[in-house]
């Protein structure tokens, strides 16, 4: 008996490359699925616009670099700073904060955004839902 | 020809303080459909409007001419006093929006077309519609901190002015809007006058004590107030509030820490005094509601007070039951519901008999608000219990 392969959903053109500029995002609705597209250092990321916490519009709030606390060798704190290598997007409903490069909650990686494979070719951005 | 998916750029690329409430809460529509919320009677026992937008109007209601003039001159000559004159607003509370990460906490600055009703009425309607709420109990925001004002001779007339303004301009404008009117707790006589003034108003569901730190709720001068409320069948709420100036919070360096502890200890203090001084025995028919501290502290209080009481009964001679029994007979609002350990939450619900005493609250538009789906998706509750918490318990308590 042959085992049938699970059908692969086709990639869907959801935006033009110019819609998602470096360091920016673009929100798009594909039927009922709302997506946030992000570009960081040339690479694209696609997440569902629904926070795993309470369903909030997680892709629509501030994009802000992750915050680090500067601890010296003697373990004293020297205050906070931004980590330019770790951009975050924040859910506007309750402030849940996620790493744009992984979709993980910035402080508890078991909570993560629903992500989708995203490709770019010929000036078009495609997402597989 | 095949029909491909419909692709559209999202109309709102970024939510800001100027985004409309329906757009901020658009994702709540999923819950509305998923749980059939339009068919559920939902009472929101804790939400807020922002009285700061109306501050000059409220100041015009201050009766004392000298105090009113002082405030008017402050608003005229101090550029930042236009929305704050006479208030005791704690600058630390400006950190609530987490560095502008949570815009609706910062401000609801959405445009509202000119109409017959106050802007805050329309904002409340929009929130109720978005969350499928049938009745919303609306409170002020900065005025909730009136119990922390350093000068009662300002706090009392300011709150009286606010109450008059609120009852005239907000409360009667929509039948879904109700309130527990804030008591000027520093002045027991003024509290009684407040109950006499508004106790017969059908939109006033009861009264509440706000963020009070410095008054023992068991002091003899409050007994007439409690008796009046009991006689009228009107509940008394204790709405907790945060302070960075509590002895305990004064060592804290993050708003997160203050917020986590200060609300809870505010209510813990009053609840302890309330029970240990036998007020449930003195006013057996007075309904008491503990507002805005979540639920995680309640089982702790049950065990802690029972434990102490059993060893030191002589210090609480009025009690006829264990402290936990009295706690079980009180009402609590649900927000902010702590859900990171569902087993602990289930035990908490069981310990406090939540299905008959818990009241749903959104706390909208504050940064840690809860949607009705918070209750609907609790896995350990049956549907009847969910419906009780979302509205059934409030319907009985308030006679809605």
3-state secondary structure chain B: CCCCCCEEECCCCCCCCCCCHHHHCCCHHHHHHHCCHHHCCCEEEEEECCHHHHHHHHHCCCCCHHHHHHHHHHHHHCCCCCCCCCCCCCHHHHHHHCCCCCHHHHCCCCCCCCCCCCHHHHHHHHHHHHHCCCEEEEECCHHHHHHHCCCHHHHHHHHHHHHHHHHHHCHHHCCCEEEEEECCCCCHHHHHHHHHHHCCCCCEEEEEEECCCCCCCCCHHHHHHHHHHHHHCCCEEEECCCCCCCCCHHHCCCHHHHHHHHHHHHHHHHHHHHHHCCHHHHCCCCCEEEECCCCCHHHHHHHHHHHHHHHCHHHCCCCCCCHHHHHHHCEEECCCCCCCCHHHHHHHHHHCCHHHHEECCCCCCCCCCCCCHHHHCCCCCCHHHHHHHHHHHHHHHHCC
Which residues 371-390 of B are in CB contact (within 8 Å) with A? Answer: 371, 373-374
Output the CA angle B130-B131-B132, nearest 5 degrees. Answer: 100
Q: Label the pairing between strands B135-139 and B43-48.
A: parallel
What are the tens digits of pLDDT across the range B312-364? 999 999 999 999 999 999 999 999 999 999 999 999 999 999 999 999 999 99
| pLDDT > 90 fraction of chain B, expressed in percent and rounded | 88
What pLDDT does residue B1 have?
A: 45
Picking from A13, A27, A90, the nearest residue to B101 by CB comes out as A90
Statement: residue A10 has pLDDT above 80: no
Statement: residue B73 has pLDDT above 70: yes
Picking from B5, B27, B371, the nearest residue to A31 by CB comes out as B5
Q: Flag if A12 and B7 touch (Cβ within 8 Å).
A: yes
> What is the residue-wise DSSP string for chain A?
-PPPPPPPPPPEEEEEGGGS-TT-EEEEEETTEEEEEEEETTEEEEEES--TTT---GGGS-EEEEEEEEE-TT--EEEEEEEEEEEEEE-TTT--EEETTT-BBSS-TTSB--EE-EEEETTEEEE--
Calpha distance B36→B25 (Å, rounded): 17
Confidence category of residue B254, pLDDT binned at 50, 70, 90: very high
Contacts of B378 in chain A (CB under 8 A): none
How much is the average pLDDT of B271-296? 98
Contacts of A55 in chain B (CB under 8 A): 27-28, 30-31, 371, 373
Q: Flag if B26 and A57 touch (Cβ within 8 Å).
A: yes
Among B2, B4, B12, B15, which would you mutate to test the A interface (most chain A Cβ atoms within 10 Å of its Cβ)? B15
Q: Flag if B6 and A31 touch (Cβ within 8 Å).
A: yes
Confidence category of residue B82, pLDDT binned at 50, 70, 90: confident
Q: Flag if B9 and A15 touch (Cβ within 8 Å).
A: yes
Which residue from B342, B328, B351 is spatially nearest to B377, judged by alpha carbons?
B342
Which residue from B288, B346, B281 is spatially nearest to B317, judged by alpha carbons?
B281
Residue count of chain B, please give it. Answer: 400
pTM of the predicted structure, to 2 decimals: 0.95
Statement: residue A1 has pLDDT above 70: no
Picking from B28, B31, B102, the nearest residue to A94 by CB comes out as B102
What are the tens digits of pLDDT across the range A49-97? 999 999 999 999 999 999 999 999 999 999 999 999 999 999 999 999 9
Calpha distance A21→B258 (Å, rounded): 39
Which residue from B339, B351, B354, B358 is spatially nearest to B299, judged by alpha carbons?
B351
Mean pLDDT taken over chain A: 94
What pLDDT does residue B114 have?
A: 87
Among A31, A79, A93, which would you mutate to test the B interface (most chain B Cβ atoms within 10 Å of its Cβ)? A93
For A26, name the nearest residue in chain B, comparing CA atoms only: B13
For A12, name the nearest residue in chain B, comparing CA atoms only: B5
Confidence category of residue A3, pLDDT binned at 50, 70, 90: low
Mean pLDDT taken over chain B: 95
Picking from B8, B15, B374, the nearest residue to A57 by CB comes out as B15
Output the CA angle B234-B127-B57, nearest 5 degrees. Answer: 70
How much is the average pLDDT of B368-377? 97
What pLDDT does residue B16 have?
A: 97
What pLDDT does residue B99 have?
A: 94
Burial classification of residue B232, based on how many CB atoms lie within 10 Å of its CB (0-12 exposed, 13-18 middle, 19 or more buried): middle
CA distances from A116 to A62, A87, A127, B259 (A): 21, 18, 7, 36
| pLDDT > 70 fraction of chain B, expressed in percent and rounded | 100
B65 touches A: beta carbon within 8 Å:
no
Picking from B9, B31, B99, the nearest residue to A55 by CB comes out as B31
What are the tens digits of pLDDT across the range B17-67? 999 999 999 999 989 989 999 999 999 999 999 998 899 999 999 999 999
Confidence category of residue A23, pLDDT binned at 50, 70, 90: very high
For A24, name the nearest residue in chain B, comparing CA atoms only: B13
What are the tens digits of pLDDT across the range B181-227? 999 999 999 999 999 999 999 999 999 999 788 899 999 999 999 99
At CB < 8 Å, which residues of chain A contact B? 12-15, 19, 25-31, 34, 49-50, 54-57, 60-62, 64, 90, 92-95, 97
Confidence category of residue A6, pLDDT binned at 50, 70, 90: low
Q: What is the least distance, in Å, from the CA of B26 to any CA of chain A? A: 8
Q: Flag if B9 and A27 touch (Cβ within 8 Å).
A: yes
For B7, name the nearest residue in chain A, comparing CA atoms only: A30
What are the tens digits of pLDDT across the range B104-118? 999 999 999 988 889
What pLDDT does residue B211 have?
A: 79
């Amino acid at each position: 008996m042959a085992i049938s392969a699970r059908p692969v959903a086709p990639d869907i053109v959801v935006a033009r490359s110019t819609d998602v500029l470096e360091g920016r995002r673009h929100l798009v609705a594909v039927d009922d699925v709302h997506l946030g597209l992000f570009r960081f250092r040339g690479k694209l990321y696609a997440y569902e616009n629904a926070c795993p916490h309470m369903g909030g519009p997680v892709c629509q709030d501030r994009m802000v670099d992750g915050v680090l606390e500067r601890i010296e060798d003697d373990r004293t704190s020297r205050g906070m700073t931004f980590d330019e290598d770790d951009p975050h997007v924040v859910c506007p409903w309750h402030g849940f904060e996620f790493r744009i490069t992984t979709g993980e909650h910035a402080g508890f990686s078991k909570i993560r955004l629903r992500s989708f494979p995203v490709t770019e070719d010929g000036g078009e951005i495609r997402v597989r839902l | 020809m095949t029909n491909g998916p419909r692709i559209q750029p999202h109309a709102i690329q970024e939510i800001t303080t100027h985004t409309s409430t329906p757009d901020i809460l658009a994702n709540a529509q999923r819950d509305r459909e998923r749980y059939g919320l339009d068919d559920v009677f939902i009472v929101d026992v804790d939400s807020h409007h922002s009285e700061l937008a109306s501050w000059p109007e409220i100041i015009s209601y201050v009766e004392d001419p000298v105090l009113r003039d002082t405030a008017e001159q402050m608003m005229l000559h101090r550029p930042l006093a236009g929305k704050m004159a006479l208030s005791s607003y704690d600058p630390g509370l400006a950190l609530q929006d987490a560095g502008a990460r949570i815009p609706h906490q910062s401000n609801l600055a959405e445009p509202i077309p000119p109409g017959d009703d106050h802007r805050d009425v329309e904002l409340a309607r929009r929130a109720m519609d978005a969350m499928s709420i049938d009745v919303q109990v609306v409170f002020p925001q900065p005025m909730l901190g009136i119990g922390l004002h350093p000068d009662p001779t300002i706090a009392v007339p300011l709150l009286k002015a606010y109450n008059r303004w609120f009852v005239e301009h907000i409360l009667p404008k929509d039948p879904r809007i109700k309130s527990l009117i804030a008591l000027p707790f520093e002045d027991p006589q003024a509290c009684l006058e407040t109950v006499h003034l508004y106790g017969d108003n059908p939109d006033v569901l009861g009264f509440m004590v706000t963020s009070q730190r410095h008054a023992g709720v068991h002091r003899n001068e409050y007994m007439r107030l409690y008796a009046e409320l009991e006689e009228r069948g009107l509940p008394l709420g204790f709405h907790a509030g945060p302070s960075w100036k509590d002895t305990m919070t004064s060592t804290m360096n993050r708003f997160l820490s203050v917020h986590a502890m200060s609300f809870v200890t505010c209510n813990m203090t009053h609840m302890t005094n309330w029970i240990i001084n036998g007020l449930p025995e003195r006013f057996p028919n007075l309904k008491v509601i503990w507002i805005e501290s979540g639920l995680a502290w309640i089982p702790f209080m049950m065990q802690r007070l029972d434990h102490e009481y059993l060893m030191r009964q002589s210090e609480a001679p009025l009690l006829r039951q264990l402290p936990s029994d009295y706690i079980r007979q009180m009402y609590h609002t649900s927000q902010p519901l702590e859900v990171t350990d569902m087993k602990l939450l289930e035990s908490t619900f069981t310990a406090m008999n939540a299905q008959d005493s818990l009241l749903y609250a959104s706390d909208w538009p504050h940064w840690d608000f809860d949607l009705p789906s918070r209750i609907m998706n609790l896995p350990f509750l049956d549907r009847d219990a969910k419906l009780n918490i979302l509205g059934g318990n409030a319907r009985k308590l308030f006679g809605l």
